[in-house]
Amino acid sequence: MKFVLKLAFAAALVPLTPANPSTAQEIPKIKLGYAKCAHCLPMSLTPDYAKNISLETINFNSGNDVLTALVSKSIDVAQVTYLHYITALDKGLDVVAVSGQINGGSECVSSNKLDLPGEDWAKFKSLTTKAKADGTPLKVAASRGNAQDIHMRGAFMKQGIDPNKDIQFVNIPNPSDHLAALQRGDVDMICSVEPFASQIKMAGAGKHFVLPYDQAAGNLTNLIVTRSDVIASNKAGVQGTVSAVVTLVDVLKKDQSKWIETITKLTGLDAAVAKEALVNAYPDYSIHMSSTLAIADMMRDLKYISSDVSATAKKNIDYSFLMAATGKPKSALGE
């Protein structure tokens, strides 16, 4: 009897273990959306570099789809573009920029029938003027609202070609459809995104015309954004995501092998196409403030947005996550 009592007493001294230990300290969870392009697809690798968070990545056809998912609260963090960021602010949407990712990736590719030499703006302008006078303006395609669309419009305007009046714009939402459009002769030029621009050239369906970076946006493309409610409720999750992006960018700067492998895996394109696509891609986690404001002005000039969002664009850039991830001040991160 004494032995039984001793056991009961000893058991009473053992602290009770919670039925579910994870409830004491939940691991932050983040759903991260990214688009289907050469400089977007590496986002699928971010879970490999995430620490102390559960990071789920979801692939979408375009940056427009990713932005829609973010504002509808289907995802928590989104890889979009500087242009999506400005457009969202113009619509009064709640978006906060927290990191850069990869820039570049835009290329204007002309159809073979146009017989247009690369970089020859004078000839392109004369072809545009003649086609418009003949009542059959040149058809120029892009995925409306993506970085390539804005890069093209800004570059055209700088050369004295009004994209709203001098050409016929054709919207092809899914970039993977760009090759077929050129092969069918549906359009005269496409401003596409990598790796699809390289796919077009290597398939012989079109020729390089220009990298459309001579405009306010330069070659700025990708931006990581979230919502203010996510920052308020899951700051650790956002920090973990940005830290993973920073680590990924540093890896991509040194070694492109995983990048090429990811492109081929997620697009089904040949490794040679993927490798060529990366010639026009520049990993960069900084958020470039002055260029962001210049993009906002350019988009208003192009009548792509209807209001001046410069003040909001500046206010909604949060450098704190990049600062924590890199140990660098704002001044070294694009402010």
263, part of any domain: yes
307, part of any domain: yes
304, part of any domain: yes
Into how many domains does the chain fold?
2
Instruction: List pLDDT tens digits, range 62-116.
Output: 889 999 999 999 999 999 999 999 999 999 999 999 999 999 999 999 999 999 9
14, part of any domain: no
Write down which residue in 210, 239, 266 finishes a domain. Answer: 210
Q: Are 249 and 287 in contact (CB under 8 A)?
A: no
- 237 and 283 share a domain? yes
- 99 and 248 share a domain? yes
- 223 and 325 share a domain? yes
- 112 and 83 share a domain? no
11, part of any domain: no
Write down which residue in 151, 184, 210 finishes a domain. Answer: 210
Domain span at residue 145?
106-210
- 241 and 262 share a domain? yes
Q: Which amino acid is at 8?
A: A
**pLDDT exceeds cutoff 70 at 269:** yes
Write down which residue in 210, 240, 275 finishes a domain. Answer: 210
| Interacting residues of 249 by C-beta distance below 8 A, sequence separation 6+ | 100, 101, 102, 283, 284, 285
- 135 and 264 share a domain? no
251, part of any domain: yes
- At 84 the pLDDT is 94
8, part of any domain: no
**pLDDT exceeds cutoff 80 at 4:** no
Percent of the chain with pLDDT over 70: 93
- 146 and 49 share a domain? no
- 78 and 201 share a domain? no
Instruction: List pLDDT tens digits, range 166-204.
Output: 999 999 999 999 999 999 999 999 999 999 999 999 999
**pLDDT exceeds cutoff 90 at 17:** no
- 243 and 300 share a domain? yes
Instruction: List pLDDT tens digits, range 38-48.
Output: 999 999 999 99
- 223 and 328 share a domain? yes
- 113 and 77 share a domain? no
Question: Residue 317: which CATH number?
Answer: 3.40.190.10
**pLDDT exceeds cutoff 70 at 12:** no
Q: Are 146 and 172 in contact (CB under 8 A)?
A: no
12, part of any domain: no
- 176 and 74 share a domain? no
Which H, E and C letters describe the chain, residue by residue? CHHHHHHHHHHHHCCCCCCCHHHCCCCCEEEEEECCCCCCHHHHHHHHHCCCCEEEEEECCCHHHHHHHHHCCCCCEEEEEHHHHHHHHHCCCCCEEEEEEEEECEEEEEEHHHCCCCCCHHHHHHHHHHHHHCCCCCEEEECCCCHHHHHHHHHHHHCCCCCCCCCEEEECCCHHHHHHHHHHCCCCEEEEECCHHHHHHHCCCEEEEECCCCCCCCCCCEEEEECHHHHHHCHHHHHHHHHHHHHHHHHHHHCCHHHHHHHHHHHCCCHHHHHHHHHHEEEECCCCHHHHHHHHHHHHHCCCCCCCCHHHHHHCECCHHHHHHHCCCHHHCCC
